[in-house]
Amino acid sequence: MSFPKDFLWGASTSSAQVEGGFDKGGRGLSIWDTKVLNEGTCSFHYASDHYSHYKEDIALMAEMGFKAYRFSISWSRIMPDGEKEVNQEGLDFYTNLFEELKKYDIEPIVTIFHFDLPLALQEKYGGWNNRDMIDVYVNYCKVLFENYDKYVKYWLTFNEQNMLIFFGAFDMLGGTKKLNSQNDLYNQAHIQLVAQAKAIHLCHKMCSNALIGPAPNITTSYPATSNPMDYIASLNMDDLRNNFYLDALCFGRYPKSVERYFEWNNVVLDVHEGDFELMKTCKPDFIGFNCYGNDTTEYIEYEEVNFSELLTGDNRDLSYLIKLMEKPGVGRAVSNNYFFKGEDGHLFDPYCIRVTARRLTDRYHLPLIITENGYGRKDILEEDGSIHDSYRIEHLKETIKEMELGIKEGANIIGYCPWSAIDLVSTREGISKRYGFIYVDRDEDDEKAKNSEMKRYKKDSFYWYKEVISSNGEKL
Ligand code: BG6
């Protein structure tokens, strides 16, 4: 058997996407509450109403046999203005949630920040592109460490920081279609990395038994062909998309090839004395990473990239995201014919975790938790209450098979928490794009959702995952 005895089988969610209750319990607004929505998609206001259903949801997770549950804390529920008043009702909500998890012996894996910045901070500081945000974030961490140290062993500093930068030509989260400059983006990345390094130091000081690490979205770049320039492109793409963030927190430096990219794009980092020392000495205890599929990269020459056509584009289109991945002088993303063709025709990369976890183990020598992986699709609720999501089972099964081989080959993976434990609102595609093992009965209509019961149903994947967990990955 390849999966370690105490392997952390579970699944993930995030506060803004699952909780709802945006105006309940003294919560302040977050940038997701005012986000410009794609036509036809619901808001994040009611989400899956986990805020009221958390006991039922955790009981269902326990029924699946979860050993771990990765979720995020809503910053604006804890601190409505993001930095001063602490909201006791917000603290109590998570205390109750932790108690519920404890009841079933489910290990919480807690993301401190998963995209939903308090709106007040956005308005006051202009978001992350302001060094004041470092102390504001660390102050929020301090409140969490003080209150939840007794419940939390695994803290995650930041969800997918790298995607906010890598796809950040436009502010896809705030929902604006304003072009961001590379200089602003990479300075923001630097600020966020210093903030995380400080949070890791603080956690080690305040929480004697806790472990803390980042949670970026990490892939490995396959070269598009055996052309050496494609191989060089894939190395440079890995540096820019992935290694930049992890090298900073694990080694206290940025990859050299990224400096070259900065020169081309006139990026000048505002580095303060001590920034790199903070990163070098913070020492994450593990790496959490989201992994949905590796990239395939083809070399492209440097020339100014023009994103303006995307100003009117639909950010749900795959071509939109592929365009955002175009990094002149480095490479562009291309399709890969070697991927697995699923029963519903979708192409996916079951090797992503196997390959990337091996690469990370070799580079950083730290334990790894897969904090996201999965398949979003429009599920159909049948009249008898069943949901036949064989395509999701197939996707997860093929990925877990490869993950197991990765462990045999030396990848130090200690947990697997696919996205998502329960249906929740997708970042750009509403509730119709579902990822969960548990179906939530609501549609895109917010008015209906507001007073809806949001009944939960078990998908076929629910029963399948239960077997996977109880056999510790033997029965796939
Ligand atoms: C990850 C994010 O990038 O992918 C999640 O951490 C997100 O918040 C998930 O929901 C799936 O992406 P999407 O766009 O389908 O919701």
What is the C-alpha separation between 336 and 348, in angstroms, rounded?
Answer: 9
Predicted confidence band of residue 318 (pLDDT cuts 50, 70, 90): confident
pLDDT at 321: 87
The closest-lying atom of ligand 1 relative to the alpha carbon of residue 115 is 8
- Which burial class, exposed, middle or buried, applies to 91 when counting CB atoms under 10 A from its CB (0-12, 13-18, 19+)? buried
Question: What would the two tokens of residue 9 be?
Answer: 């089988």
Is-catalytic flag, 19? no
Residue indicated by tokens 């600020």:
191
Question: Does the beta carbon of 461 lie inside 6 Å of ligand 1?
Answer: no
Question: Does the beta carbon of 159 lie inside 6 Å of ligand 1?
Answer: yes
Question: Does the beta carbon of 373 lie inside 6 Å of ligand 1?
Answer: no
Ligand 1, atom 11: closest residue by C-alpha: 426
Catalytic hit among 83, 160, 402, 404: 160
Question: What would the two tokens of residue 272 be?
Answer: 């303060």
Contacts of 38 (CB under 8 A, 6+ apart): 314, 315, 316, 428, 429, 430
Amino acid at 248: A
Question: Does the beta carbon of 419 lie inside 6 Å of ligand 1?
Answer: yes
Question: Does the beta carbon of 158 lie inside 6 Å of ligand 1?
Answer: no
pLDDT at 306: 82
C-alpha 183, offset from chain centre: 24
What is the C-alpha separation between 369 and 415, in angstroms, rounded?
Answer: 5
pLDDT at 304: 74
The closest-lying atom of ligand 1 relative to the alpha carbon of residue 424 is 10
Question: Does the beta carbon of 275 lie inside 6 Å of ligand 1?
Answer: no
pLDDT tens, position by position, 128-144: 999 999 999 999 999 99
We find that the CATH architecture of domain 8-226+243-294+349-470 is: Alpha-Beta Barrel (3.20)
Catalytic hit among 372, 394, 402, 404: 372
What is Dmax (Cα atoms) for the chain?
63
Distance of CA 427 from the midpoint of ligand 1 (Å)? 6
Question: Is residue 364 pLDDT above 90, yes or no?
Answer: yes
Question: What would the two tokens of residue 323 be?
Answer: 């365009």
Beta bridge partners of 415: 8, 369
Question: Does the beta carbon of 166 lie inside 6 Å of ligand 1?
Answer: no
Question: What would the two tokens of residue 398 be?
Answer: 């093929």
Pick from 136, 166, 303: nearest CA to 240? 166
Question: Does the beta carbon of 72 lie inside 6 Å of ligand 1?
Answer: no
Asked if residue 173 lies in contact with residue 115, where contact means CB atoms within 8 angstroms, the answer is yes
pLDDT tens, position by position, 103-136: 999 999 999 999 999 999 999 999 999 999 999 9
Pick from 404, 474, 462, 473: nearest CA to 435? 462
| Mutation to probe ligand 1, out of 109, 325, 392, 427 (largest number of atoms < 8 A from CB) | 427
pLDDT at 314: 86
Distance of CA 272 from the midpoint of ligand 1 (Å)? 33
Distance of CA 229 from the midpoint of ligand 1 (Å)? 31
Distance of CA 325 from the midpoint of ligand 1 (Å)? 16
Chain mean pLDDT for the chain: 96
Query: What is the CB neighbour count within 10 angstroms for residue 38?
Result: 15
Distance of CA 253 from the midpoint of ligand 1 (Å)? 28
Distance of CA 209 from the midpoint of ligand 1 (Å)? 30
pLDDT tens, position by position, 51-93: 999 999 999 999 999 999 999 999 999 999 999 999 999 999 9
pLDDT at 171: 83
Of the listed ranges 147-156, 266-275, 320-329, 377-386, the least confidently predicted one is: 320-329
Distance of CA 222 from the midpoint of ligand 1 (Å)? 22
Ligand 1, atom 14: closest residue by C-alpha: 427
Is-catalytic flag, 277? no
Ligand 1, atom 16: closest residue by C-alpha: 426
- Which burial class, exposed, middle or buried, applies to 335 when counting CB atoms under 10 A from its CB (0-12, 13-18, 19+)? exposed
pLDDT tens, position by position, 408-440: 999 999 999 999 999 999 999 999 999 999 999
Question: Does the beta carbon of 290 lie inside 6 Å of ligand 1?
Answer: yes
Distance of CA 443 from the midpoint of ligand 1 (Å)? 18
Asked if residue 439 lies in contact with residue 421, where contact means CB atoms within 8 angstroms, the answer is no
Query: What is the CB neighbour count within 10 angstroms for residue 229?
Result: 15
What is the C-alpha separation between 247 and 251, in angstroms, rounded?
Answer: 5
Asked if residue 441 lies in contact with residue 381, where contact means CB atoms within 8 angstroms, the answer is yes
pLDDT at 1: 62
Question: What would the two tokens of residue 89 be?
Answer: 């009702």
Query: What is the CB neighbour count within 10 angstroms for residue 321?
Result: 15
What is the C-alpha separation between 46 and 424, in angstroms, rounded?
Answer: 10
What is the C-alpha separation between 60 and 74, in angstroms, rounded?
Answer: 22
Bridge-based pairing of strands 8-12 and 332-333 is unpaired
| Mutation to probe ligand 1, out of 369, 426, 432 (largest number of atoms < 8 A from CB) | 426
Question: Does the beta carbon of 13 lie inside 6 Å of ligand 1?
Answer: no
3-state SS record for the chain? CCCCCCCEEEEECCHHHHCCCCCCCCCCCECCCCCCCCCCCCCCCCCCCHHHHHHHHHHHHHHHCCCEEEEECCHHHHCCCCCCCCCHHHHHHHHHHHHHHHHCCCEEEEECCCCCCEHHHHHHHCCCCCCHHHHHHHHHHHHHHHHHCCCCCEEEEEECHHHHHHCCCECCCCCCCCECCHHHHHHHHHHHHHHHHHHHHHHHHHCCCCEEEEECECCCEEECCCCHHHHHHHHHHHHHHHHHHHHHHHHCCCCHHHHHHHHHCCCCCCCCCCHHHHHHHHCCCCEEEECCCCEEEECCCCCCCCCHHHHHCCCCCHHHHHHHCCECCCEEECCCCCCEECCCCCEECCCHHHHHHHHHHHHHCCCEEEEECCCCECCCCCCCCCCCCHHHHHHHHHHHHHHHHHHHCCCCEEEECCECCECCCECCCECCCECCCEEECCCCCHHHHHCCCCCEEECHHHHHHHHHHHCCCCCC
Distance of CA 293 from the midpoint of ligand 1 (Å)? 13
Question: Does the beta carbon of 371 lie inside 6 Å of ligand 1?
Answer: no
At residue 8, what are phi and psi to the nearest 5 degrees? -90, 80
Question: What would the two tokens of residue 416 be?
Answer: 């697997």
Question: Does the beta carbon of 221 lie inside 6 Å of ligand 1?
Answer: no
Question: Does the beta carbon of 420 lie inside 6 Å of ligand 1?
Answer: no
Asked if residue 190 lies in contact with residue 245, where contact means CB atoms within 8 angstroms, the answer is no
pLDDT tens, position by position, 141-184: 999 999 999 999 999 999 999 999 999 888 878 778 888 899 99
Question: Does the beta carbon of 160 lie inside 6 Å of ligand 1?
Answer: yes
Q: What is the mean pLDDT of residues 13-38?
A: 96
pLDDT at 456: 98
Ligand 1, atom 15: closest residue by C-alpha: 426
